[in-house]
Amino acid sequence: MRALTLHLCRGFAAALLLFMCIPKLHASFERSGSWFDPANDGEGFIIQYLNDDQAVIFWFTYDAEGAQRWFTGLGNQQGNELQFEELLITEGGVFGEAFDPAAIVRSPVGELSIIFSGEGENETGIARYVVDGVEGQQDLVRATRTIETIAGGDSRVPRKSGSWFDVSRDGEGFVIEILPDGRPLAYWFTYDLAGRQAWMVGIGQGSLAQGSMMFDLQQPVGGRFGPDFNPADVVREDAGEVRLSLACEGGFARFSVTDTVDFSDLELDLSQLIGVGPNVCDDPQLNNLFPLAGGAASPPDSPAGKQLAWLLDWLARTGPISDEELLERFSSAWLQANDLGSTRTFLEELRRDYPNGRWIDPVFAVPTENGGVISGSNGADFYYFLRTNLTNGKIASLSATPFGSNGEGSVIYGFDAALNLDAAADKFMTLSPEAGVLLARIDESNQCQPLVARQEDVPRSIASVFKIFILGGLAEALDERATFPDVVLPLDPALQVLGGPLGSEPAGTPMTVDELATYMLGISDNTATDMLLQLAGRERFNGLHAAYGHQQPELMSPQLGINEQFHLFLSFPLAESRSYVEGTELFQQTFLEERIVPLGPISTGGGGFYNESLFVDGAWQASPMDICGAFARHRQHRPGSDAALLVERALQAAAAQPNLRENWDRVWYKGGSLESVNTGLHVLTHAFMLEREGEAPYVLVGFSNNPVGGLEAQQFNIQSLLGRMAQIADRL
């Protein structure tokens, strides 16, 4: 975009001096946005204030024959008048790979002034111009306002509005406006394949806070410049779609063409040149997805989140609830098990016991499930679980259990509450014969430094904690632009597996990559895991485990999914499965491809075998320090990138237990278990990363393995001790 802005200053050095000397912004800055004359619908102006005295303008319009043109200018504010003494036209470019920045020529075409009157939403402007000797006037009203103009210094607004360009293609670029509702508006100022000026415009399909997104771009043509302009002449032609990533440290544009006559497919690397707002573009290193405002969190925008919002509203209101409202909120399966009368009684008792309830502790949240602590205005608290149907968003499950009062409920037993770190770690090691526990801190060089550790380097069976590595493979695929968070995948019946709600959903149900990642980490859904492993590709994991901190990566290679690991448990005689576990990597790869993969999805009962002895020594293996290293690697994803944003959402989806989010700005968690129908839990694992803004994070990992099972007897003791260790970390 430098051709559109920096060259207006007649030199790169002059532009740098300009931006280094920007004074404090005042009222003029709030005029940044798009403006147009309703009588000239089909063309308009984009104004971006650099400071209170200077602004850049982009005028998207046409020539006398109806072809597109665009002008740029650097203007000075004098009172209520914004004066552009020189409008420039940029020529010599050509679309696509043939673009040559050395061929760009910038020529003056005229001048423009805009006189503003009124205030706020009622502000208007009169644009007077002379272009190619033609004088004219337009009466302007505001078309858009960027979120930066209303957010002031709010640090949660990442300052994405502005001008973006590929530094190797000086002479074309994008202007982005983030609207107050979060949707992005994109203008693309470029050329066609014949070298004529061209511009396109489109609204993004979502929020850039979620990552890169698609824009359907239109190319308006047919308008006539000046007094002959008639909005009825403007035809908005589909030009193609572009995926934009606006990561502050470097984004990209991937254009897929519709109009192959004038354009072609193209991929660009983007950097922000000019931002709108008092701060520069800044993607936060840490993004708390569950901030507590006034001691309570806001329900997420999801099917389960909307039902939680309804539940909180019910707890705050008075009066009865109608049959119609119950039928609207609860699924048919719920109402078959709980008739209208008992459902009404349950809700009324909940409101009586917990009036004006607030969501004070969001323990977990995925699109169709959430849970946590709700506190009533009388100080009474309860832990709830809510699940909705994927198809219609109605409540399929809702439970409530008393949980202390005034936010003081705890999973820490009284007899553990006074233990120090060493005593808690020592006691943890007595709860299972093969255990490991670690409390470490990730230092400035991204290395894990143990604070208290027992068997921290000894590999243990980790159950679903292995999904942290699957998330790593997905992150690498995102960084390579092999997939994107909003890509929709239908549930694949060949990959559906028991364990999690997606295993029983109809085949073909659409899910985004982002949703699958959140299900995989938030509620450990097994179908989501196998779909993401297939999407990332098994070959991508060659070398990945070591890069993500695993000190013995051969223990995880080849990377098995859920179906494949479960086939070793259930579909082969023990001797054959153990030959895989103890075989060379070449043998394992051959066995996987020739014996396991052809079996397809695991069915209930598998192939008639039950090799529970493999739960401890024949499944995914890692040490507590390996998992600390994986967390450390995940912190290094480039801020604002698709990988960083998706990983943040997935790992923050669950906190596993109450009393964590209130004390930390970031809580990452993954746990897992392997349980026998005969002998109970053989494997129980927990892994947390706990971080405050500006401080080194803590990693807490607890692995419990028992070859003979029975860990369910220690489940809450394990949770109590890890809760105590997290509590001590909070106070260090």
Q: Specify whether 35 is located in the same domain as 90.
A: yes
Q: Are residues 60 and 125 in the same domain?
A: yes
What's the CA gap between 47 and 5, in Å, rounded? 12
Residue 537: strand, helix, or coil: coil
674 belongs to a structural domain: yes
Work out the percent of the chain whose per-residue pLDDT is above 70: 95
446 phi/psi in degrees, rounded to 5: 65, 30
Residue 285 lies in a domain: no
Sorting pLDDT into bands at 50, 70 and 90, what band is 16? very low
Q: Which of 206-220, 512-526, 647-661 has the lowest mean pLDDT?
A: 206-220
Over residues 544-573, the mean pLDDT reads: 96
Query: Does 500 lie in the same domain as 351?
Result: no
Alpha helices by DSSP H, 21-98: none
The tokens describing 78, both together, are 């004098």
Give the confidence band of 281 by pLDDT, cuts at 50, 70, 90.
confident
Instruction: State the CATH number of the domain containing residue 328.
Output: 3.10.450.280
Among 280-284, 439-443, 542-546, the minimum mean pLDDT is found in 280-284
Of 7-21, 271-285, 367-381, 697-711, minimum mean pLDDT range: 7-21
Give the per-residue pLDDT at 277: 63
- Name all contacts of 26-32 with Cβ < 8 Å and 24+ positions apart: 26/52, 27/52, 28/52, 28/53, 28/55, 28/77, 29/149, 29/276, 29/277, 29/278, 30/145, 30/149, 30/150, 31/55, 31/116, 31/123, 31/149, 32/145, 32/146, 32/148, 32/149, 32/161, 32/276
Q: Is the pLDDT of residue 617 over 80?
A: yes
Tell me what the mean pLDDT of segment 569-573 comes to: 96
Please tell me whether residues 380 and 460 are part of one structural domain. no
Least confident of 96-100, 164-168, 178-182, 235-239: 178-182
DSSP per position, 505-520: SPTT-EEEHHHHHHHH
Q: Which two tokens stand for residue 720?
A: 């109590």
Helix and strand totals (H; E) in the chain:
18, 29
Beta strands 124-131 and 448-454, pairing class:
unpaired
Looking at 355, 373, 405, which one is the last position of a domain? Answer: 405
The average pLDDT across 663-692 equals 97
**pLDDT confidence tier of residue 208, bands split at 50, 70 and 90:** confident
In-domain check, residue 287: no
The CA distance from 553 to 433, in Å, is 24
Backbone angles phi, psi at 351, to 5 degrees: -70, -35
Q: Are 94 and 193 a contacting pair, CB within 8 Å?
A: yes
Residue 407 binned pLDDT confidence (cut-offs 50, 70, 90): confident
Interval 425-452 mean pLDDT: 98
Sheet holding 380-388, edge to edge: 358-366, 369-375, 380-388, 395-405
**Over 80: is that where the pLDDT of 11 sits?**
no
Q: Is the dihedral of CA 557, 563, 564, 567 positive or negative?
A: positive
Structural domains in the chain (count): 3
Note whether 557 and 669 are same-domain residues.
yes
Same domain, 450 and 481: yes
- Please identify which residue in the block is written with the tokens 């009474």: 380
Cβ–Cβ contacts within 10 Å for residue 187, how many? 21
* Alpha-carbon gap, residue 635 to 442, rounded angstroms: 10
Look at residue 53 and tell me whether its pLDDT is greater than 60: yes
Instruction: Specify the amino acid at residue 503.
Output: G
Helix (H) or strand (E) holding 685: strand 680-691
Is residue 291 a part of any domain in this protein? no
Please check whether residues 518 and 457 belong to one and the same domain: yes
- Looking at the fold, whether 555 and 504 belong to one and the same domain comes out as yes
289 located within any domain: no
Claim to verify: residue 269 and residue 335 sit in the same structural domain: no
524's tokens: 């450990």
Cα torsion 507, 508, 509, 514: sign: positive
Q: pLDDT digit string (tens) for 420-431? A: 999 999 999 999
Looking at the predicted structure, is the pLDDT value of residue 17 above 90? no
Closest CA to 645 of 254, 248, 309, 336: 248
b/e 415-427 (16+ beta carbons within 10 angstroms → b)? ebeebeeeebbeb
- The CATH number assigned to the domain holding 521 equals 3.40.710.10
**Inside any domain, residue 294:** no
Report how far residue 699's alpha carbon sits from residue 438's, in angstroms, rounded to the nearest whole number: 8
- Report the candidate in 116, 132, 105, 141 with the shortest Cα–Cα distance to residue 55: 116
DSSP letter string, 360-376: EEEEEEETTEEEEEEE-
pLDDT at position 307 over 80 = yes
In terms of Cα–Cα distance, which of 303, 294, 290, 434 is closest to 372? 290
Q: What predicted TM-score, i.e. pTM, was given to this entire model?
A: 0.92
Give 408's pLDDT tier (boundaries 50, 70, 90): confident
Q: What are phi and psi of 435, to 5 degrees?
A: -130, 165
- Is 184 a domain residue? yes
pLDDT at residue 156, as a whole number:
64
Give the DSSP per-residue string, 581-631: HHS-HHHHHHHIIIIIGGG-S--TTTTS---TTHHHHSS-EE-HHHHHHHH
Q: Looking at residue 152, what is its pLDDT?
A: 66
Of 68, 89, 45, residue with least CA distance to 235: 68
Q: What is the DSSP string of 382-430?
A: EEEEEEE-TTT--EEEEEEEEEEETT---SS-GGGTT--HHHHHHHHHT
Asked whether residue 280 is domain-assigned, the answer is no
Residue 586 has pLDDT above 80, yes or no: yes
- Count of alpha carbons within 13 angstroms of residue 214, beta-carbon side: 11
Q: Which whole number is the average pLDDT over 191-204?
A: 97
Distance CA 404, CA 2 (A): 60
Percentage of the chain exceeding pLDDT 90: 85
Residues 433 and 344 in one domain: no
Provide the domain limits for residue 484: 416-731
Asked if residue 710 and residue 673 are part of one domain, the reply reads yes
Write down the mean pLDDT value for the chain: 92
Residue 279: the pLDDT is 61
**pLDDT band at residue 329 using 50, 70 and 90 as cut-offs:** very high
Q: What is the pLDDT of residue 616?
A: 98
Same domain, 482 and 555: yes
User: What pLDDT sits at residue 51?
Assistant: 83
State the pLDDT confidence band at 96, using cuts at 50, 70 and 90: very high
Q: What is the pLDDT of residue 275?
A: 85
Which of 50-54, 389-393, 487-491, 650-654 has the weakest average pLDDT? 50-54
At residue 101 the predicted structure's pLDDT band, cuts being 50, 70 and 90, is very high
Residue recorded with tokens 């300052």? 159
- Closest to 229 (Cα-Cα) out of 426, 476, 59: 59
Do residues 193 and 96 touch, judged by C-beta distance below 8 A? Answer: yes
